[in-house]
Amino acid sequence: MFDYGFVDFDDILFKTYVFKEDIFGCFARCGVSRADYALTYNQAVFGPVQGYFDYTFEKHANLLRDLGYQIPDSTIDELNNLLENNYNNSQAEDFLLNCKKFTKKLILLSAGEPKLQNKKINASGLAKYFDEVVIIDGGKGPKIESIIDGAPKIYYVNDNLKENIEIKKYLPRIILAALKHQIQWDNEDYRKYNLPFFNSLEEIKNYVEKLA
């Protein structure tokens, strides 16, 4: 039995890569090119400190306006309405139900702008499976350490390779299981750092359960 289990939200339980494509679709209707979308998305996501996140639709729209695009307020409404769609990983609910069987306390740990993250999490309907929901702008290693209070058996399910490298350095005893990111990293990137990675939540569940 694990003392604590931490699960990331974006690109683990929530198909953020699909959500991002739909965000692009809204801006593309205003004439935004994919190159300018990608450039401004990255500018909007990252705060002044590397590894910290601060994305909002309004911030992204303003960056595009600075490039000369006409982005009406109605586009912001369209973006907010995207959350009426279902972006959940199809395995998310079964995965969380199974994790609860071998985890004393299951925590959703997500990095991002709190208002938007809360909207996404609430829209997903998945918060009910967690003992606690924690939203931060970055610095997951120190946050995990502050929560576990020295507990020996902990795991974290996360896709972000850079975060996983830093978390493992910060907490060597943590068991990390990465759901392979659909776009950002390939198999060799994960293998290079000897961090386990998987293609599905079902595979992760089987791996972590054996270590409980």
**Tally of domains within the chain:** 2
Residue 193 has pLDDT above 90, yes or no: no
Which burial class, exposed, middle or buried, applies to 82 when counting CB atoms under 10 A from its CB (0-12, 13-18, 19+)?
middle
Is 35 or 139 the better-scoring residue by pLDDT? 35
Residues 48 and 122 in one domain: no
**What whole-number distance in Å separates Cα of residue 35 and Cα of residue 57?**
17
Confidence of residue 49 (pLDDT cuts 50, 70, 90): low
pTM: 0.93
Residues 64 and 97 in one domain: no
Domain end, chosen from 27, 59, 84, is at 84
Residue 192 has pLDDT above 90, yes or no: no
Q: What value does the mean pLDDT take over residues 183-211?
A: 89
Confidence of residue 48 (pLDDT cuts 50, 70, 90): low
**Strand 132-136 versus strand 175-179 pairing type:** unpaired
**What whole-number distance in Å separates Cα of residue 20 and Cα of residue 152?**
37
Residues 8 and 32 in one domain: no
Residues 98 and 59 in one domain: no
Residues 27 and 10 in one domain: no
Residues 23 and 71 in one domain: yes
Residues 108 and 60 in one domain: no
Residue 182 has pLDDT above 70, yes or no: no
Domain end, chosen from 84, 113, 137, is at 84
CATH of the domain at 164: 3.40.50.1000
Residues 113 and 188 in one domain: yes
113-139: pLDDT as tens digits: 999 999 999 999 999 999 999 999 888
Residues 76 and 100 in one domain: no
Q: What value does the mean pLDDT take over residues 17-46?
A: 96
Instruction: Give the mean pLDDT of the chain.
Output: 93
- Output the pLDDT for position 44: 93
Confidence of residue 142 (pLDDT cuts 50, 70, 90): very high
Amino acid of residue 190: Y
Give the range among 15-19, 28-32, 50-54, 201-205 with minimum mean pLDDT: 50-54
Residues 107 and 188 in one domain: yes
Instruction: Report the phi/psi class of residue 194: left, alpha or beta, with left for phi > 0 and alpha for psi in -120 to 50.
Output: left
- Output the pLDDT for position 54: 85
- Output the pLDDT for position 197: 92
Residue 50 has pLDDT above 70, yes or no: no
Question: Residue 41, Cα to own-chain centre: how many angstroms?
Answer: 15
Q: What value does the mean pLDDT take over residues 54-62?
A: 95
Domain that holds residue 43: 16-84
Domain end, chosen from 65, 84, 103, is at 84
- Output the pLDDT for position 185: 74
Residues 26 and 115 in one domain: no
20-34: pLDDT as tens digits: 999 999 999 999 999
Residues 98 and 76 in one domain: no
